[in-house]
Amino acid sequence: MFSMIAVVSAAKPIMLAFDDAQWMDNRSLSLVLKVLDELPNVYFLITVRGISKHTASARSMLLALVMSLPSVDIRQMNCFTYQETSLFLCQQYHITIMDTQVLNFVFERTEGNPGSLAKLVNFMLDAKYIAIEPEANNIVILKDLDEMDTLVPQHIRARVMSIVDSVDALAQTALKLLSINPQPSEERMVDGVLTFLSNAYSDGSMTEASGIRLKVPKPTSEMSLLRQVRESLVPCEKALLTIDSHNKLYFFTTEEMRLVVYDTMLPSQRKVLHALYAEWLKYAATKVSRDVSSLATVSSTGNVTTIEPSKASAIHPMPYQRYALLAYHLSQSDNPKEALEANYLAAEGAMEAKELGFAEDCMHTSIKILNTHPRVNDLSELDTILLRSRIEFIRGTIAVENNDLSLAITHLSCITRLFNRKGSVLRYHTLNIQREGFPIRSALSFTGSRRTSFPMSTIDPVPATPGCFGLVPSSPKVRCMPRLFSFNNIFPSSSRLEAPLSRQLTTKAKRSKMSTRLRPNRIQAEQTLEALDHINFYRRKASALIKQINYARKKQDEMHRHIQKFAQRTLQAKDKR
């Protein structure tokens, strides 16, 4: 393909057009990058549906790089909404009543793309997953639809397994590690996760994690761990894997190949590797903040020596995109509460960057985690109310930014309904606090008055440095939403509880150990008080926003009536003349 384009473009400039570029695989995107880099007479016209240059990296970092190049013209095309998708399928397949489960399945996986909708439904009909009854004109589900996510043709599965079986143990470990990440993996991320895995079980030259049975060699002075991984992946580089040395990325040739390698692992192995990815993202965040802080300290003394920067990757994920990736790995490693917190921070950062579509996707994922994750049942009922209230509040603010006031009122009203419907639970915890007495509250948890207090971030502001990205915001900003948790497992607090207070809290926790066993979802008084504060905060803010929206609507209607009356008087005056 490259040689053909080179021959044609040698005589005169040419333009290549691609429709629905958001579905292009990483290998095709790498070819586009190579053509644009080496052939100056080639230009691209790319159409995408419902995706911007900034949010493109959430799907594919290579797609974001292609869309940012000056010789590429981007055209946005519309997708079907949920209601339009239902109407399209009913008209296309002569269905009287559309099945809700089938509609949700195809809309989530095609995102309303018309061509992909018809292609997916036809495949489901041919594979006997669904059927259309001609008498009743409705859809019947024949098999579990979730099995289609891992449905890979047999010839692709056999080819991938033959390649995996032919490489050594280190290459198999690296392939399994790369299959965990749904996006192209950065080189330093692969090195860091393998280092974590190697240090976890350090016995002998070839360490083996007994729980997940993945072998990782120890780095030596002659050869680093990353270099060993590169050399071990050479046999499968073209057929199965692509190593982008310029952007320092690793990714599978197709998504089906990644799924085949992913299916070779046990659920326990996947959970451990997802947890290692999450641990590396947390470590990278703290390392970036420490490096930037030390750099700022050294530069203030005036003893900075000029260092020539090394050639880095051209792809720089935004902090909120890294939070979304962290949320994915946390949810897959059975940490739903931390995953929801990371999604909250991702949505907050996306809203500050005016990427409302990305923020809405984060909240949609949070709702799915809260409704379907098996470990959510381990949370207390009060925590569940708090998490759902926070999600609905953010969705309401996103709707306000999109000027969809009706949808904003719908989301904000959910908070007040949650508060009223669960009033008995809230009253129970309130009485529990009054009976046990108010706990000792540290200065770390709250600032300000008792009425409006909410947790504040304990992170010191870090100055922005060109070429450096991390999870720490560059400057403190005024927020309309509180940070519900300190997220200390990612950002260590600058100060800790004093020793006497720590002993008091530890003693109190030991005294209530038996009562906690008798009531498994019961939370302690200090946590209950904080949760009630947060719920009341969101309820007050939601009520205030609803009042402001209704007031704005009233003023808008009055202005509209005033304009109508003015137009009528103008017409009457014209008739009199």
**Helix/strand/coil (H/E/C) assignment for every residue in 256-295:** HHHHHHHHCCCHHHHHHHHHHHHHHHHHHHHHHHHHHHHH
CA distances from 533 to 7, 212, 388, 452, 456 (A): 68, 42, 15, 8, 13
Give burial (CB, 10 Å; 0-12/13-18/19+) of 428. middle
Rounded Cα–Cα distance for residues 263 and 17 (Å): 35
Average pLDDT over residues 409-420: 81
Contact 481, 393 (CB under 8 A): yes
Residue 329 has pLDDT above 60, yes or no: yes
Q: In 3-state terms, what secondary structure has residue 140?
A: strand
- Phi and psi at residue 399, in whole multiples of 5°? -65, -35
pLDDT at position 330:
92
Contact 382, 531 (CB under 8 A): yes
Residue 183 has pLDDT above 80, yes or no: yes
Contact 411, 399 (CB under 8 A): yes
Contact 276, 216 (CB under 8 A): no
pLDDT at position 340:
92
Other beta carbons within 10 angstroms of residue 191's beta carbon come to: 17
Contact 196, 205 (CB under 8 A): no
Average pLDDT over residues 157-174: 86
Contact 43, 13 (CB under 8 A): yes
Residue 126 has pLDDT above 70, yes or no: yes
Residue 11 has pLDDT above 70, yes or no: yes
Range with lowest mean pLDDT among 134-138, 214-218, 494-498: 494-498
Q: Where are the beta strands (DSSP E) in 40-92?
A: 42-49, 72-77
pLDDT at position 434:
56
pLDDT at position 97:
81
Residue in the block written with tokens 């005056």 = 573
Percent of the chain with pLDDT strictly greater than 90:
2
Res. 561 pLDDT band, cuts 50 70 90: confident
Q: Residue 574 carries which side chain, given as an amino acid letter?
A: K
pLDDT at position 565:
83
Residue 57 has pLDDT above 50, yes or no: yes
User: Mind listing the pLDDT tens digit for each residue in 99-122?
Assistant: 888 998 888 888 788 877 888 888
Residue in the block written with tokens 């690296």 = 174
Which one-letter DSSP state was computed for residue 97?
B
- Phi and psi at residue 376, in whole multiples of 5°? -65, -30
Average pLDDT over residues 509-529: 50
Reading the block at residue 518, the tokens are 């008798």
Res. 460 pLDDT band, cuts 50 70 90: very low
The per-residue DSSP string of 142-157 comes to: -S-GGGGGG---HHHH
pLDDT at position 304:
40
Rounded Cα–Cα distance for residues 140 and 462 (Å): 56
pLDDT at position 51:
63
pLDDT at position 288:
57
Rounded Cα–Cα distance for residues 547 and 540 (Å): 11
Strands 185-186 and 206-208: unpaired
Residue among 279, 283, 302 nearest 291 (CA): 283
Average pLDDT over residues 145-164: 78
Biggest alpha carbon–alpha carbon distance for the chain: 102
Rounded Cα–Cα distance for residues 331 and 373 (Å): 8
Contact 405, 548 (CB under 8 A): no
Contact 207, 191 (CB under 8 A): no
pLDDT at position 503:
45
pLDDT at position 525:
57
pLDDT at position 426:
62
Residue 147 has pLDDT above 80, yes or no: no
**Prediction pTM value:** 0.61
Rounded Cα–Cα distance for residues 383 and 369 (Å): 14
Rounded Cα–Cα distance for residues 351 and 310 (Å): 32
Helix axes 336-352 and 356-372, enclosed angle (nearest 10)? 170
Mean pLDDT of the chain: 73
pLDDT at position 58:
52
Helix axes 405-421 and 381-401, enclosed angle (nearest 10)? 170
pLDDT at position 484:
38
Percent of the chain with pLDDT strictly greater than 70:
68
Residue 166 has pLDDT above 60, yes or no: yes
Strands 241-244 and 130-133: unpaired
Range with lowest mean pLDDT among 22-36, 57-71, 242-256, 402-416: 57-71
Rounded Cα–Cα distance for residues 358 and 492 (Å): 27
Residue among 546, 524, 372 nearest 439 (CA): 524
Contact 214, 145 (CB under 8 A): no
Rounded Cα–Cα distance for residues 166 and 128 (Å): 35
Handedness of CA 512, 515, 517, 523 (dihedral sign): negative
Q: In 3-state terms, what secondary structure has residue 14?
A: strand
CA 367 to chain centroid, in Å, comes to 12
Residue 480 has pLDDT above 80, yes or no: no
Please tell me the total number of residues recorded for the chain in this structure.
Answer: 577
Res. 444 pLDDT band, cuts 50 70 90: very low
The domain segmentation of the chain, as residue ranges, is: 2-77, 82-150, 154-292
User: Mind listing the pLDDT tens digit for each residue in 371-387?
Assistant: 888 888 888 887 888 88
pLDDT at position 445:
41
Contact 249, 187 (CB under 8 A): yes
Average pLDDT over residues 182-208: 72
Other beta carbons within 10 angstroms of residue 178's beta carbon come to: 24
- Reading phi first (left if > 0) and then psi (alpha if -120 to 50, else beta), residue 403 is in left
pLDDT at position 225:
78
Residue 514 has pLDDT above 70, yes or no: no
Res. 469 pLDDT band, cuts 50 70 90: very low
Rounded Cα–Cα distance for residues 490 and 473 (Å): 13
Residue 496 has pLDDT above 60, yes or no: no
Q: According to the 3-state scheme, what is the secondary structure of 424-445?
A: HHHHHHHHHHHHHCCCCCCCCC
The CA radius of gyration of the chain, in Å to the nearest whole number, is: 28
Q: In 3-state terms, what secondary structure has residue 73?
A: strand
Average pLDDT over residues 177-195: 86
